Structure 1
Amino acid sequence: MSYKLLCHPEGMVNEDRVKAARDFAEGELSRLGEAWDRGTASPEAALRRIIPLVAPILVPQALGGHGESVATLLRCYEELARRDIGFTCALAVHTAVTIATSLSPNAALRDRILPGLMSGESIGAFLLTEPQTGTDATAITCAATPVAGGYRLSGEKAWVTNGKWADVFATFCQTEAGSGAKGINAVILRRDMAGLSTSDPLDLTGNMAMGTTDARFQDIALSDEDVAFATGTAFRAAMYGIDVARLGVAAMCNGALAGALDVAISYAAGRQTFGRAVIEHQAMGFTLADVATGLEASRALTFQAARPFESGQPVAALTAHAKKYACRTAFEGISQAMRALGANALKRGSSLPRQLNGVRVTECMDGTGEVQNIVISRALRAGL
């Protein structure tokens, strides 16, 4: 039994693609998500299979992509996260790298890297955060020291989603110490480069399917051909990528909450207490009704935030609203949905503990709620 989503995005959505994502989620994510989260199986092969369906959605057809709408991408994220949000986060990070590569002014690099990112031959990772630098991206210290014909790269990165299996590392680094955003550039590293190493996957409370690691660079030799975004443009590209990621997180949280409603409604409709189905008791029926209201409100806000993306002009404050609200609503909503199952909700087989933990992880991705409030409060001050 599935909860029927009521709020729908404006504009064109490729429903065939959304259905393919739904079928993939029902066929693979429902079956394997628990094993991935426990670390007893690897999602890498499944990730490479789904990439050609989703990662090229926003890439123009002239570059070999699908050339479709942001709304289509968000609907695919919803359907996939409905069954496993951790896996969908891994896919979303790869997709963000794919989108960023398609926008690189370095045509030779783009044409060399982009096909593999769209086909699944390559998996991408997005490296901005450092062990001592998170919220303030202008303070990164990973050093790309200019040399004749290129750079020598040294430093560390933290919280690298897909770090366990990535082939391509989109890395933001500082070319001039103390210059802040002006000195940041973005380079593309390959797994086989001498001096690049990753840690064992971090043992997280949820979303182990993201294969999150730390990374270290020791005097890696780079040429100018490895630069995706030069100084003066890279920081803006990073901020655009974060806006894309925040919108994706909102959609994934909405999908995870819809999946929790699926489980809760099905269980509550099939279990009898005091001669009636659990869902027919007013207390439980009203509880799930409130969860559904929160979900539809969050989806409406997310799709509203998506509209400016269609023209390539995201509104940062609106995206921050969507990300903050979706994370909070999904965590609270899944917690309430678990009440319909009673103690059975605590069993891993119900999928709800895994999804609840996964949503909690997304709260820390691409800026916490407090970071979103910074963005929103700046917009409020600008309107004075």
Structure 2
Amino acid sequence: MSYQLLCHPEGVVNEDRVQDARDFAERELRLNAEAWDRGMASPEAALRRIIPLVAPILVPKDLGGHGESVATLLRCYEELARRDVGFTCALAVHTAVTIATSLSPNAALRDRTLPGLMSGESIGAFLLTEPQTGTDATAITCAATPVEGGYRVSGAKAWVTNGRWADVFATFCQTAPGSGAKGINAVILRRDMAGLSTSDALDLTGNMAMGTTDAAFDGIELTEADVAFATGTAFRAAMYGIDVARLGVAAMCNGALAGALDVALGYAAERQTFGRAVIDHQAMAFTLAEVATGLEASRALTFQAARPFEAGSPVAALTAHAKKYACRTAFEGISQAMRAMGANALKRENHLPRQLNGVRVTECMDGTGEVQNIVIARALRAGV
């Protein structure tokens, strides 16, 4: 059984691409997601296969991309996350790196890096967070020390999604300690560079398909040709990337909740108690109806937040609303969907424990609910 989504985005959606994402999810995620989450298999090959379908969606056609809508990208995320939110998070981080690379003013760097990111030859990672620096990105200490002919990069990054298999590391560094956002630049590091190392994958409660690691840099030598965003412009690029990521997380949480409704409705329609199907008991029918209302409200807010992106001017507060609400709604909604299945919901074969853990992880990605409240509160204050 499949829950039929009611709220639809405005604007043009490439339905063929969305169908391709849906088919991929059924063909690969449905069968492999549990093994990936338990560390019994690697999602890397599947990630490289889906990249050409999704990662180029927002890249302009004159750069070799699809040149399609934000709504198309979000719908693809929904369909993939319906089966596995962790794998979709890995893809979304790679896609954010692809989008950022397409916007780099360093044309030579863009032209040599972007094709691999769009084809799946390269997997990208976005490195901003550090072991002692999370919410306050202006306080990063990973150093790109100016030297003759370029920079020397030393320091550490934490919570690197795709760190286990990434080829390209989009890394934000401080060029002038104490200068805050003004001194930050963004460089492109490659796996084969001397001085770059990553840890083993972190053992998380969920979303192990993200291949999350820590990373360390020991005197990596770079030239200006490796700088994607120069000092003075990189911090703004980072904030734009985080807005893109928050919108993607909202769509993924919505997809995960839709998938949970699929499972719960199918079970409740077949399971008989007291001579009738579980779905025919009003208490349970009303519980699932509330979950569906939360899902449709969350999707409406997410698509509303997507509209400014289509025009190239995202509204940070609106994106924060969408991310906060979607994470919360998905976690609560999947928990309620599991109630409809009783103890059977605890079986891994039903996928809901993995998805519940997965959306809990998304709460910590790209800013917790409290961080989103900071963004929203600033907007409220600005309007007073």
Fold-level similarity (TM above 0.5): yes
Runs of 5+ unmatched residues, structure 2? none
Aligned position for 2:95: 95
Aligned position for 1:141: 141
In the alignment, residue 145 of structure 2 is paired with which amino acid?
T
After superposition, give the CA deviation of every residue in 1:268-296 in whole Å (9 maximum; x if it has no partner): 00110011000000000000000000000
Offset, 1:61: 0.1
Runs of 5+ unmatched residues, structure 1? none
Quote the Cα distance in structure 1 between the aligned partners of 2:264 and 2:334: 9
After superposition, give the CA deviation of every residue in 1:72-108 in whole Å (9 maximum; x if it has no partner): 0000000000000000000000000000000000000
Aligned position for 2:202: 202
**Among the aligned pairs, what percent are the same residue?**
89
In the alignment, residue 28 of structure 1 is paired with which amino acid?
E
Offset, 1:149: 1.0
Q: Where does 1:1-384 land on structure 2 (aligned, <5 Å)?
A: 1-384=1-384
In the alignment, residue 283 of structure 1 is paired with which amino acid?
A
After superposition, give the CA deviation of every residue in 1:127-158 in whole Å (9 maximum; x if it has no partner): 00000000000000000000111000000000
Quote the Cα distance in structure 1 between the aligned partners of 2:126 and 2:270: 44
In the alignment, residue 355 of structure 1 is paired with which amino acid?
Q
Quote the Cα distance in structure 2 between the aligned partners of 1:307 and 1:287: 31
Quote the Cα distance in structure 1 between the aligned partners of 2:144 and 2:36: 35
- SS in structure 1 at match of 2:7: coil
- SS in structure 2 at match of 1:231: coil
In the alignment, residue 107 of structure 2 is paired with which amino acid?
A
Offset, 1:27: 0.8
After superposition, give the CA deviation of every residue in 1:230-278 in whole Å (9 maximum; x if it has no partner): 0110000000000000000000000000000000000000110011000
Quote the Cα distance in structure 1 between the aligned partners of 2:63 and 2:27: 30
Quote the Cα distance in structure 2 between the aligned partners of 1:230 and 1:68: 28
- SS in structure 2 at match of 1:338: helix
After superposition, give the CA deviation of every residue in 1:172-227 in whole Å (9 maximum; x if it has no partner): 00000000000000000000000000000000000000000000000000000000
CA RMSD of the aligned region, Å?
Answer: 0.2
In the alignment, residue 158 of structure 2 is paired with which amino acid?
A
In the alignment, residue 80 of structure 2 is paired with which amino acid?
L
Quote the Cα distance in structure 2 between the aligned partners of 1:349 and 1:187: 42
Quote the Cα distance in structure 2 between the aligned partners of 1:278 and 1:286: 11
Say how many residue pairs are matched: 384
Quote the Cα distance in structure 2 between the aligned partners of 1:328 and 1:68: 29
Offset, 1:317: 0.2
In the alignment, residue 240 of structure 2 is paired with which amino acid?
Y
Quote the Cα distance in structure 2 between the aligned partners of 1:2 and 1:124: 33
Quote the Cα distance in structure 2 between the aligned partners of 1:29 and 1:306: 26
Offset, 1:311: 1.0
Offset, 1:307: 0.1
In the alignment, residue 343 of structure 1 is paired with which amino acid?
A
- SS in structure 2 at match of 1:216: strand
Quote the Cα distance in structure 2 between the aligned partners of 1:192 and 1:27: 33
